């Protein structure tokens, strides 16, 4: 997936910000479909919490948050702060600004606060944009605590690309893991999502077209 992403951006000239926009918008559309599937619930009456990591998975989450706000939901996002002496990458920074400008209330979370706990429990759904294909090893530190808070919410969880904590290649977990009801895989379903141990953690699986050239996806 990393190679497909790199080729799309560097060899085919598709801007990374465009891929992130396509990913987040498609996640928002799937979220609406999923939450309104019973025919009586409406997104505009809902409160959604988006939990974002500091990488591109979190960037996808910020874009999804902005589109869900545009569809009429009340949306709040929490994002892990950048590492000390560094900043978010260009696409994440741009989408942080756009989300704020669109009226999404975005909080930088340096700990799991009472506010985050209350908010996730009182939301209609929570979006897991913490860890995607850039995950390595057991979720540690604040990442681990945020995963636990998402699971404690007892609300429908929509995971972007991979339920955080699930190994993208094997489908096994080595520590805490998000238990998703819907997983929106970006571009292709990662191998781990299809493995037997992942079935209960992935929930419904949808594969989203975010504009990768078709010949890169089919070897």
Ligand X SMILES: NC(=O)c1ccc[n+]([C@@H]2O[C@H](COP(=O)([O-])OP(=O)(O)OC[C@H]3O[C@@H](n4cnc5c(N)ncnc54)[C@H](OP(=O)(O)O)[C@@H]3O)[C@@H](O)[C@H]2O)c1
Residues in contact with ligand X by the rule CB under 6 A? 5, 16, 19-20, 23, 53-58, 60, 83, 91, 131-140, 143, 160-161, 186
Query: Minimum distance from CB of 39 to ligand X (Å)?
Result: 30
Nearer CB in complex with ligand X: 5/179: 5
* Least CB distance to ligand X at residue 196 (A): 22
Round to whole Å and give the CA distance between 67 and 160. 15
* Minimum distance, C-beta of residue 166 to ligand X, in the bound complex (Å): 11
Structural tokens at position 153:
């919410």
User: Which of 6, 42 has the CB closer to ligand X?
Assistant: 6
The residues that bridge with 160 in the sheet, in sequence order, are: 184
Largest distance between two CA atoms of the chain: 48
Q: How far is the CB of 76 from ligand X (least distance, A)?
A: 20
Q: Are 80 and 145 in contact (CB under 8 A)?
A: no
Cβ–Cβ < 8 Å for 106, 79: yes
Complex with ligand X: residue 43 or 127, whichever CB lies closer:
127
- Which residue lies nearer to ligand X by CB, 52 or 104? 52
Contact 207, 185 (CB under 8 A): yes
């Amino acid at each position: 997936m990393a190679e497909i992403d790199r080729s799309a951006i560097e060899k085919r000239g598709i801007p990374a910000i465009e891929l992130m926009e396509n990913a987040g918008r498609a996640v928002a559309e799937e979220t609406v479909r999923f939450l309104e599937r019973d025919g009586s619930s409406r997104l505009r009456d809902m409160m959604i919490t988006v939990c974002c990591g500091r990488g591109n998975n979190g960037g996808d989450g910020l874009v999804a948050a902005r589109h869900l706000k545009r569809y009429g939901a009340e949306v709040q996002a929490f994002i892990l702060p950048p590492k000390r002496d560094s900043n978010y990458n260009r696409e994440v920074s741009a989408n942080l600004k756009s989300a704020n400008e669109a009226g999404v209330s975005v909080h930088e979370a340096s700990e799991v606060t009472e506010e985050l706990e209350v908010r996730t429990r009182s939301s209609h759904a929570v979006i897991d944009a913490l860890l995607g294909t850039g995950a390595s090893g057991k979720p540690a530190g604040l990442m681990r605590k945020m995963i636990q808070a998402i699971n404690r919410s007892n609300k429908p969880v929509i995971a972007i690309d991979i339920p955080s904590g699930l190994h993208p290649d094997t489908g096994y977990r080595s520590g805490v893991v998000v238990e998703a009801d819907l997983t929106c895989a970006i571009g292709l379903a990662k191998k781990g999502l299809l493995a037997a141990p992942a079935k209960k953690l992935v929930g419904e699986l949808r594969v989203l077209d975010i504009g990768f050239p078709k010949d890169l996806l089919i070897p």
